[in-house]
Structure formats: C-alpha cells, structure tokens
Structure 1
Amino acid sequence: MKHLFILTLLLLQIKVEAQTSALTVADSLYSIGNYSKAINEYSKVGGLSSALQIARSYNAVGNYEKAITQYQYVVEEDDTDQLAQLELGKLLLKVNRFEEAKSVFTNLTDFNTDHPEFQFYLGEANRKLNLSEESLEQYKKAIRLDSTHLRSLFQLAKHYTIKRERDKALKYILLGLDYYENDVSLINLHALVLFNDSQFEKAIPLFERVLKLGEDKDYVYEKLGICYNRNWEFKKAKEAYAILLKRDDTNSQTYFDLASVYQKESKLDSAKIFIKKAMAVQKPIFANGYSQLAYIAREQKDFKTAFRFFKMAHQEDTFDARIYYNMATTYDQFGADLQKKLTYYENFLKDYPNEHPYYYETAEKRISELKSEIHFAKE
C-alpha cells in the first residue's frame, strides 16, 4: 500500500512537471508571436488560464469568432474574471457586435462600479448604438471616477465640438489639456472650436502646433489656409494651398480658396485664373465658378460680363436663389430695359418666395420704383 501511494505521488509529480513544461513552451511561443503553435501547446495543458491564452492567440491572428467563443467559455466558467470580460467586450466592439458588447460592459460596471475603463467602454458601446445621451453619461461617470481619463474627455469634447456647443466643448478640451498639454487630438479640437467660432487669429497657432506634432493632414492645411486668408496673412495662405495642390491638383475647392486670396489682394486676373482651373478639374461645380467670375467682373465694374456669368451660373443651378438675385441686381446696374429689370425682380419673388428677408424686401422696393419709372416713361 505504501509503495502504491509513493507511485501515485510520483505519477502526479511527473504530470505536473509535464504540464508546467508544456505551459512554459506555450508561453514562450505566445511571447514571440507564434500563436498557432502556442494554441496547440495551450490545448495540451488545459484549464481556464490556457483557455484565456488561446482566446488571446486567436484574437492576435485575427480569428475573431474562435476568440469570442473561447472568451465566452472562460467567462461562463468564471464570471468573476473581469479581465476576460473586458477583453471579450473590446473584441465584440471591434467586430461590431455592439449589443453583446453593451451586455458585457453593463455586467462589468455592475460588478465594479468604481472602474473608469468599464464606464468608458460602456459609453463606447452606447455610442456605437447611437444612444448619444447614454454614452455621454458613461463618459462623464468615467471622468468623475478619474478626472484624467483622456479618452472620455476626448469623446465628450468631440461630441460638443461637432454639435457646435462651444462652452461645453471647451470645458472638456481645456480640462484634458491641463493633464495632457501635448495631446494632438485635443489641440486639434481646440483649434476647430475657435475656427467654428470665427476666432481665426487664435486658431492659427493651434493648427500650426497640430502640424508640428505630426498631424500632417490635408484638413489642417485647409483650415489654416482659411484662417490665414481671414487674418490677412496672404503669403502663408498661398503656401498652405500650394502644399494641398502639390498633394492633389484635382481638388476644385483648393483652387477656389486660392482664388479668394488673390481676390482679397485685388489681384483679380490671378483670381480668375484659379477659378477657371477649379472649373476645369471638376465639371459639376460650374455654377460656383461662374458665380465667382461674376463677382470679380462686378468688382471691376464690368457689369455686362458679370451679368453674363451670373446667367451662366443660373443655368447650371436654378435652385440657388442668390445667383438669380445677383443676376437681377447686376442687370439693374447696366441694363436699359426697365420692363426687363422689372421682370427679373418679379420672377425672383415668384420663384424664390422663402429667401432671406433682405433680398425679398429689396426686390419689392425695387419693383415699386421700377413700376413708377415705367409709368412716368409712358406719359
């Protein structure tokens, strides 16, 4: 009997040593990214720890369905394993299974109410489900638990920036920048808030800093170009647009924006060149191009040419009331036919009855004056 007991102990020791050896091999394979072989070794070991590592290995190689199945097994066997649940929830978010992810993170927030990460990810699940109010509340809970929770601060700041709620956006942006002064995402949002608020001069150094921090994106140069132009820094505006055109010389908006810089400098011939380039590279925006050419011609007191371009713009876009209004007022400035002038204004009121009150009132006033002129001309 004594010998049998000793033999059993020896067999158990050998089994444990074999499992330990297999686990060491599996961990080593996992650590160097040899996930397929690691899965095979973990399968030999068995147990929840190995099952979790198998889930992670499947996740690492992109076999998400098998990873989810393994994670679910671990969680079902041990519903107190918060790490496994967190990893499962994040993976469910990744594969767009938002309702399931929400369920996982709801369980986690119920189980551990003081964990800001769990609150944040529940917010993410709600955001993906378009449950805006719920997601905002979760982000705010995360911040109450940890005032430095950067991702929650960013999501709140981003939401209020998009909604153009300036003060709320700045609250979370500035709170985040107090802790993370070089966070490029928050600096970018700060610049956008100021840009949207027409504070172009204050936005400029922030957009410039975004570029210095490595966010070398087209939209930054686009915003900077507008800011420089509005701040009368024409040389810098041209430099920003030159970078954009070097990257993409088929973007009509860049040519239009560059034309507006030259127009502001009163270099009208150069402005016309870039407007025509904009029209050449993107045919569908003829109405915009013709309108801008008309504005330049009118600025040069060439009302006949301006009228011709406004008329061409109207033919391209008959829904734009402003184009037709400009066509009427421009003809009024040079035309000799009083009845034709009257007809343009009357057609404006008939075809665009819900336009800006200023246009409507001006047209009505001019109709009254023209009718008087026509009446006296007949006497």
Structure 2
Amino acid sequence: MRKIFYCFFIFCCVNTWSQDLEIYEGNQQGNYKTRLLELNANEHPILKGFTEKAAIYHQIGYYNKAIYNYKKALELGSIDAIQLKLAQSYHAAGMAKEAINLYEGVFVKDSSNLMVASRLARLYSSTRKKKQAVKLYQYLIKNDPSNPYYSYRLAKIFKKQGRFYASGELFLETFKKDSAHISSIFELAKFYKLLRFKDSTELFIDKGLALNRTHLNFLQMKASFLYKHKRYKESIRYCNMLDSLRFSNATVSSLKGACFEKMNQLDSAQVYYGKAVRMDKTSMDYAFKLANIYHKNKNPKQAKLILMIALFGAEPDFSAPQFLYATIYQEEGKLKEAILYFKKSYQSGTRFYKGLFQWAVTSEAYYKDKKIAFDLYVKYIERFESKDLVLTKYAKQRIKIIRKTLFLKGEI
C-alpha cells in the first residue's frame, strides 16, 4: 500500500512541477533568496522542490547548484523533461559532453523531438563533431523544411569546411524561407562579392540596409563596394554615416582617404590617412598610403620619416613601401640609398618585379662595374619576362648593350 501511495505521489509531482516552475519563472520580481530558504527548510524535499530550486539556480547563473538539484530530482524519478533541464544546465556550465549524453539519450527514445535534435546539433557543431551536426541538421531540414534556422546553421558549417558553393546555396535557401533573415542576407552579400557578381552583391547589401539602415557591417560593405566601383562620393557618404553612428576605425578612415585620393583631393586624403595611421600605428599599409600622399604633394622629407618609422623592425612583405622609399631617394639623386631600398623591396616580396627592375636600372647608373646591373637584368628576364612588356623590352636592350661592352673588355 505504501509503495502504491509513493508512486501516486511521484506521479502527481511530475505532472505539477513544470506548471509550478512556469509560475515561478513568470514571477521575476519575486525574492528568490526567500524562496530558496523556504525550500531548503523542508526536511523531506520532494521532486517538485528539487526542480524548483534547480530552476532558480539556473536562472541566477549558479549552474553547479542547478545540476545538483536536477540530479536529486532524477533520483526520485527518471523523467525526460527533467533530463532536458539538466542538459541545459550542463550546457550553460560549459559541460558539453554531459549535455550531449543526456540529449542523445532523450533523442534515441523519441526522434520526433525536434527541439532536442536542434540543441544536440548545435552542441555537435560547437564541439567539432561536424559530421554528426551535418547529419542532424539535414534530418531537421527534412522534418521541418520551412524553418530557416536549420538551413542557416548547416550553411555555416559548410562554410567553415570550405564548401563554398554548398554554403551559398543554403544561405540562399534560408533567405527564400525568411526574406528578413539578416544574417543570411549578409552572408549572401559576401558570397556574391567573392564571385564578383556586382548586381547580386549590391542587391543583398541594399536588402540588408532596407531591414536595418544603421547596420554597421552592411554600411561598411556598401562603402567598400561603392569605392571599388569608382562611386567615390557615394562611398564617402556611407563613411560619414558610419562616423555619425560613432563607429570610426582605421579601415573606414583609410577608405575615406582612398576616395579623396581617387578624386585628386590630396589634402583631404592626407587628413584621413593620417587618422588611420593614428588609430592603427602597427599597420604598414596605412603608413604607406600616407607616405605616398606626402610624396605626391612633393614632401619627400615627411614621406621618408613616416616610412622610416613604419619600416623600423619590420619583417613581413613590405615591398611596396620600401619601393616608395627607394623612389624618393632616387629622385633626390641618392642612388646608393635607392639601391639599398630597391633591393629590400625585391627581397621583401620576391614576386615584386618592379623592385628588381629598378634595382638593376639604378645599379647600372651608380656602379662602374656594369656586370652587377647585367646580372640583375638577366635575373629579371628569367623570372619576370611576361610581367611587363615595356620593362622586359628595356631589360633585353640593356642586356644586349652591356654584354657587348663586357665582351669587348674581355670580362665575359
């Protein structure tokens, strides 16, 4: 008789715990500390008491306590609903493996529970179990084809796996299911940009801005798109919109500077490249652009100063800035220094053919020993004959003339 009563008691608790929990969760203004004291004062805790305490602890972020109380509740009755709550607490506590085990247990018993499948798929994805995540998202798409979330999550996995076209198709599928799905719209704008589909890229950028005209990513993409397609005034307008939203970084300032440079407004370009350099003092690219403006404005001293500071201790490929540095020295008639930096510009980026060519030309003008320039011209032809027809023609002519001179001297 006692056993029958106990089973009946558990059954009643199971049927009421979720309802009571919802009542508690809806009362966010309640004093949870007082309620916890009341529940802890109970010398004979029941399933409902453990689940209510667990729910409180979960809501206030005390996940270990939530896990403890859900486990205690499960000792009184193995109920799927409690297992799912426990799995959520495990997940929130960063214990993904334990959460996965619980979700898998529930899903094996009831594969029609798409909510569990969705949570499990996301956990698989976050724990590098990509194959399982892919299979589960495909299952979810099959069983709920109208849900844009599943196709979007699968697209994100494919993108990380390098499955470019497959991810693009799924992002497009997501957009067709929900034309206001702004994340998929942003991904589609990037997708078509990589494909160099101008109209489609602009279409999805504009769709994103139509949904949210202050969306920072879309505004930046729009400004960059307009610059690329030589619509400089429009690009500046979008850069100004970003400024008005108090979103100003080195990239935006540099883009604004580039627009002014293309419009031949060099003083304005100098201002914004200068801002970019101040915002990101480690960027060689911004320093090079600013130095290039000073060079165009006939201010070689300032150009060299900026390049010298930027190049100090630099090791990556800075061939273009060093080439500019060398060009300034060349224009000043300081050929020895020019040779040094033309050489560095080539060695910094061994595919930088202009550096090698100018190294050869300047060496011919500076050194009495023409064998130095001859070897450099030959090296240029061997490596870069097809790069620039004009430079190649000149190099071949100089090789022919220098070879004849060296032959007459008996040096070759």
Taking structure 1 as the reference length, what is the TM-score of the superposition?
0.81
Counterpart of 1:313? 342
**In 1, Cα distance between the equivalents of 2:95 and 2:379?**
65
Q: Which residue type is aligned with residue 338 of structure 2?
A: F
Is 1:54 equivalent to 2:50 in the alignment? no
Deviation at 1:55, TM superposition (A): 1.1
Whole-Å separation in 2 of the counterparts to 1:295 and 1:168: 41
2:47 aligned to 15, 19, 42, which one? 19
Write out aligned runs for 1:134-153 (5 A). Answer: 134-153=166-185
Q: Secondary structure at the match of 1:50?
A: helix
Residue 212 of structure 1: how far off its partner (Å): 4.0
- 1:171 corresponds to which letter in structure 2? L
Q: Distance in 2 between matches of 1:207 and 1:350?
A: 45
Identity %: 20
Q: 1:36 corresponds to which residue?
A: 64
Q: SS in structure 1 opposite 2:142?
A: helix
Distance of aligned partners of 1:160 and 1:307 in 2 relative to their CA distance in 1, 3 Å threshold: farther
Contact kept? 1:229, 1:237, Cα under 8 Å? yes
Read off the aligned partner of 2:334 and give its amino acid letter: T
Q: What is the deviation of 1:102? A: 0.6
Question: 1:39-75, CA deviations, whole angstroms, 9 ceiling, x for partnerless residues?
Answer: 2222315411111111111111111111111221221
Q: 1:310 to 1:227 in 2, by over 3 A?
A: farther
1:223 alignment partner, one of 244, 255, 273: 255
Q: Which residue of 2 aligns with 1:377?
A: none
Cα distance in 2 between the residues matched to 1:178 and 1:315: 49
User: Among 104, 119, 141, which residue is 1:72 paired with?
Assistant: 104
Counterpart in the other structure of 2:36? none
Question: Tell me, what secondary structure is at the counterpart of 1:354?
Answer: coil
1:227-242 alignment to 2 at 5 Å?
A: 227-242=259-274
Counterpart of 1:174, as a letter, is D
Aligned positions of 1:256-271 closer than 5 A? 256-271=288-303
Matching residue of 1:185: 217
Offset at 1:21? 3.7
Structure 1 pair 83–215 and aligned structure 2 pair: CA distance change class (3 A): farther
Q: Secondary structure at the match of 1:29?
A: helix
Which stretch of the first structure deviates more once superposed, 251-260 or 349-358? Answer: 349-358
Q: Distance in 1 between matches of 2:270 and 2:154?
A: 45
Which range is displaced more, 57-66 or 331-340?
331-340
Letter in 1 for 2:170: Q
**How does the TM-score come out when normalised to structure 2?**
0.76
Q: Could you list the per-position Cα deviations for residues 97-133 of structure 1 after superposition, in whole angstroms to 9, with x for gaps in the alignment?
A: 2111111101100111111111111212222222222
* DSSP-derived class of the 1:41 partner: helix
**Residue 377 of structure 2 contacts residue 395 of structure 2 at CA under 8 Å; is this kept in 1?**
yes
Structure 1 356/244 Cα, relative in aligned 2: closer, same or farther at 3 Å? same
Cα pair 1:157 1:170 within 8 Å, conserved: yes
d(CA) in 1 for partners of 2:83, 2:298: 72
Q: Which 5+ residue runs of structure 2 have no aligned equivalent? A: 14-45, 406-412
User: Which amino acid letter does the alignment assign opposite residue 252 of structure 1?
Assistant: M
Unaligned runs of 5+ in 1: 375-379
- 2:39 is matched with none
* Matched residues, number: 369
Q: For 2:302 and 2:239, how far apart are their aligned partners in 1?
A: 27
Q: Does the C-alpha gap of structure 1 residues 149 and 350 become closer, same or farther in structure 2, counting only changes over 3 Å?
A: closer
Comparing 216-225 and 99-108, the one that deviates more: 216-225
Q: Over aligned residue pairs, what C-alpha RMSD do you find?
A: 3.7
Which SS does the other structure have where 2:214 is aligned?
coil
The equivalent of 1:356 in structure 2 is 388
CA contact (8 A) 1:288 1:313 kept: no
**Residues 306 and 225 from structure 1, CA distance in 2 versus in 1: closer, same or farther, beyond 3 angstroms?**
farther
Counterparts of 1:166 and 1:312 in 2: how far apart (Å)? 39
Tell me which amino acid in the other structure corresponds to 2:168.
Answer: L
Partner of 1:129: 161
Question: Shift of the alpha carbon at 1:284?
Answer: 5.7
Q: 1:252 to 1:315 in 2, by over 3 A?
A: closer
Within 5 Å, give how 1:336-347 maps onto structure 2: none
Q: Is the 8 A contact 2:125 2:133 kept in 1?
A: yes
1:120 and 1:114 mapped to 2: Cα distance? 12
Match of 1:254 in 2: 286
Q: Distance in 2 between matches of 1:86 and 1:25?
A: 26
Change over 3 Å in CA distance of 1:294–1:198 after alignment to 2: farther
- What one-letter code is carried by the residue in structure 2 that aligns with 1:81? N
Q: Structure 1 residues 156 and 296 mapped into 2: Cα distance closer, same or farther (>3 Å)?
A: same
8 Å Cα contact 1:156/1:172 also seen in 2: yes
Map 1:73-222 to 2 at 5 A. 73-213=105-245, 215-222=247-254
